[in-house]
Amino acid sequence: MRVLPRSFSAVPSKSFVLPDLPYDYAALEPAVSGEIMTIHHTKHHQTYVTNLNAAYEKMLDAQAKGNIDAVIALQGAIKFNGGGHVNHSIFWQNLCPVSEGGGVLQQGPLSDAITAEFGSLDALQTKFNATTAAIQGSGWGWLGYDKVAGKLKIATCANQDPLQHTHGLVPLLGIDVWEHAYYLQYKNVRPEYLKQIWGIINWKDVECRYLAAK
């Protein structure tokens, strides 16, 4: 099916790349093992990037040929792999070794907003963990910012669905609860993984995202 003009030319593509981690693979131990981080980053995230580039190239080619059927058929792969790339890129920045301040939320605009919305950081963590642990299958737990309401909100997304395009929230903090993120270390005890990961949250990064979102 050809519905685009033959003269249509796709914009030359620029490949998506796997971002470097801002810390060593073993730097988040004991909360997350170096083995998990190595596999998660170099295998899982890399696969999302590789598949995203492949799907995107095919889409550009289909657009250039005016093949709308192929463009539509590729949207699922672009959403899944693009979401995986976006989500993981945020996730790596959301984490930080304890030696560099991981797990410590300083008094400031974000801590004030958390207290106003949830009562305390402990209360936020309790609600977040309960909501995220209940995800059926694979997905992500998120702390996002609702620009319309001017409030922090907890949300979950299935698979690799991106938060902003699913719930309309600006992503501040995302925690991956696909089994590849924790199973080698925590087996099927997802709640324990969620409990331990708060000790390596990069609250400085989360606050920067919060201030930018406002």
Q: Give the whole-number percent of the chain exceeding pLDDT 70.
A: 93
Q: How far is the C-alpha of 130 from the C-alpha of 132, rounded, in Å?
A: 6
- Predicted model pTM: 0.91
Q: Name which residue leads in pLDDT, 67 or 11.
A: 67
- pLDDT band of residue 90 (cuts 50, 70, 90) is very high
What is the spatial distance between Cα 99 and Cα 27, in angstroms, rounded to a whole number? 9
Q: Which residues share a beta bridge with 49?
A: none
E strand spans, the chain: 139-146, 151-158, 170-176
Q: Convert the pLDDT of each residue in 114-131 to its tens digit.
A: 999 999 999 999 999 999
Residue 201 tokens, joined: 């949250």
d(CA 171, CA 97): 21
pLDDT band at 12 (very low <50, low <70, confident <90, very high): very low
* Contact (Cβ atoms closer than 8 angstroms) between residue 209 and residue 171: yes
- CATH 3.30.70.20, domain 34-96, yes or no: no
In the structure, what pLDDT confidence band is assigned to residue 1 with cuts at 50, 70 and 90?
very low
Residues making up the binding site for Mn(2+):
40, 88, 176, 180
Pairing of strands 139-146, 170-176: antiparallel
pLDDT tens-digit readout, 155-212: 999 999 999 999 999 999 999 999 999 999 999 999 999 999 999 999 999 999 999 9
Please check whether residue 206 is in contact with residue 173, taking contact to mean a CB–CB distance below 8 angstroms.
Answer: yes
Contact present, 43 and 123 (Cβ < 8 Å): no
Q: Which fold has domain 100-213?
A: minor pseudopilin epsh fold (3.55.40)
* Residue found under tokens 């490949």: 15
Q: Tell me, what's the pLDDT at 95?
A: 99
**The pLDDT value given to residue 4:** 30
Residues contributing to the annotated binding site: 40, 88, 176, 180
Gap between the Cα atoms of 25 and 58, Å rounded: 33
CA dist., res. 159 & res. 28, Å (int):
24
Per-residue pLDDT, 14: 66
Tens-digit pLDDT profile for residues 13-44:
569 999 999 999 999 999 999 999 999 999 99
How many C-beta atoms lie closer than 10 Å to residue 197's C-beta? Answer: 25
Non-local (6+) Cβ contacts of 152 within 8 A are: 113, 114, 117, 118, 143, 144, 145, 146, 172, 210
Beta bridge partners of 139: 158
- Rounded CA-CA distance 157/166 in Å is 7
Q: Give φ, ψ of 95 to 5 degrees.
A: -110, 155
Residue ranges of domains in the chain: 34-96, 100-213
- For the chain, the helix, strand and coil percentages under 3-state DSSP, each to the nearest 5: 55, 15, 35
